[in-house]
Amino acid sequence: MAVLLQPVAGPAGQGMATVQVAETLELRRTLARQLLVDTLWRQALLVAAIAAVVLWAVQRATQPVRDLSDRLRGRAEDDLSPLDVVGAPRELQPVIEATNTVMARLAGLLEHQKRFVRDASHQLRTPLAVLKAQVQSARRGDVAPDLALQEIDTTVDRATELANQMLALAKVEQLRQQGEPPCIDAEPVLRAVALDLAPLIAERHLDFDLQTAPAPVRAHEWSLRELVRNLLHNAIKHTPPAGLLAIRLGTEGDEAVLTVDDGGPGIDDLQRQRLFQPFAAGDVRSGSGLGLAICLEIVRAAGGHIGLDNRREGECVVGLRATVRLPLADNPG
């Protein structure tokens, strides 16, 4: 700031002074700079306060998520028990429920694998032990070579059939995990399987009757083939020579219905309850005990039902009827 004093003579000769005050450019710059610094400090303090509040709020809001992560990370490798939903924030409950669903599926899959390994080790141990004993007996010369080879061949066939059926049972579960199956017509699949088994039917001189109609269902082709093959193989195996073997495929309402009638001795109520259980072959249904168990799993995976009933003529049992009902492809239910 500059101050200027200038003497002035008045009319009466008296002296007067004029004072002029002026601001310099440097002073204005200094004031502007000071105002800017003060403003920036206040804004910086405000931004820091807001950031601290936001950080605290975010940390507090995400604490349940971190707690859930710590709980999952701290679990044992084989612990697939469901998480506790009680007390969890409302926003996290859908995530916990979805996690529990996934862990339940994993637990079921692991249990199926454990059961498969347990059953495989138990069931394959017997034919292998028998085969070992037969080989040792043949080496000692206890039986004739031709008879020993025949016994060994029979044992190998049974072990092979058992292994194939166990692999088929595992594949059914694998296909179940692949989601919704495609739409397929069961009629050509049924006719193809019947054609494959035609030599067995002709060998036993069975009275074979096949009646089919288009029946679109949602299932994997391999599953349908395995279902039909097991049902027909059982029927052929337990029907006496020149007996009846009848197959029907059609639709009833919103279902595809497959029936397989044989001319065997039928089953009693106790056998009917056990035959669908793995490795639970009945006295009249000798074998590995996996064929009907495979059929049951295939039908369940397709959302259907399977049942066994004796066929009667009056009071006499003349055979067994296996009935499979599957939802038609155009019926989501």
Question: What pLDDT score does 179 carry?
Answer: 74
What does each C-alpha distance from 15 to 4, 8, 19, 137, 177 come to in angstroms?
Answer: 16, 6, 14, 151, 112
* Total Cβ atoms within 10 A of residue 298: 29
Domain residue spans of the chain:
2-68, 93-176, 183-327
Asked whether the domain spanning 183-327 has the same topology as the one spanning 93-176, the reply is no
Please, what is the end-to-end C-alpha distance for the chain in angstroms? 94
pLDDT at 327 over 90: yes
CATH class of 183-327: alpha beta
pLDDT, averaged across the chain: 82
Arithmetic mean of pLDDT, 127-137: 86
Question: What pLDDT score does 22 carry?
Answer: 53
Cα–Cα distance for residue pair 229/33, rounded to 1 Å: 93
- Contact residues for 139 (Cβ-Cβ < 8 A; gap 6+): none
Question: What pLDDT score does 288 carry?
Answer: 57
Cα–Cα distance for residue pair 248/252, rounded to 1 Å: 12
Question: What pLDDT score does 209 carry?
Answer: 94
CATH number for region 93-176: 1.10.287
Question: What pLDDT score does 283 carry?
Answer: 43
Arithmetic mean of pLDDT, 19-30: 68
Cα–Cα distance for residue pair 218/227, rounded to 1 Å: 14
pLDDT at 211 over 90: yes
Question: What pLDDT score does 228 carry?
Answer: 94
Helices 221-238/145-176 angle, 10° precision: 140
Confidence of residue 67 (pLDDT cuts 50, 70, 90): confident
For residue 200, which of 251, 226, 235, 171 has the smallest C-alpha distance?
235
SS3 81: coil
SS3 269: helix
Between 141 and 290, the higher pLDDT residue: 141
Tokens matching residue 178: 């692949």
Give this prediction's pTM.
0.63
Confidence of residue 186 (pLDDT cuts 50, 70, 90): very high
Between 89 and 13, the higher pLDDT residue: 89
Question: What pLDDT score does 249 carry?
Answer: 96
Q: Specify whether the CB–CB gap between 162 and 123 falls below 8 A.
A: yes
Confidence of residue 183 (pLDDT cuts 50, 70, 90): very high
pLDDT at 281 over 70: no
Q: What are 157-176's pLDDT values in tens digits?
A: 888 888 887 888 778 877 87
Q: What are 89-122's pLDDT values in tens digits?
A: 777 788 888 888 888 888 877 887 777 777 777 7
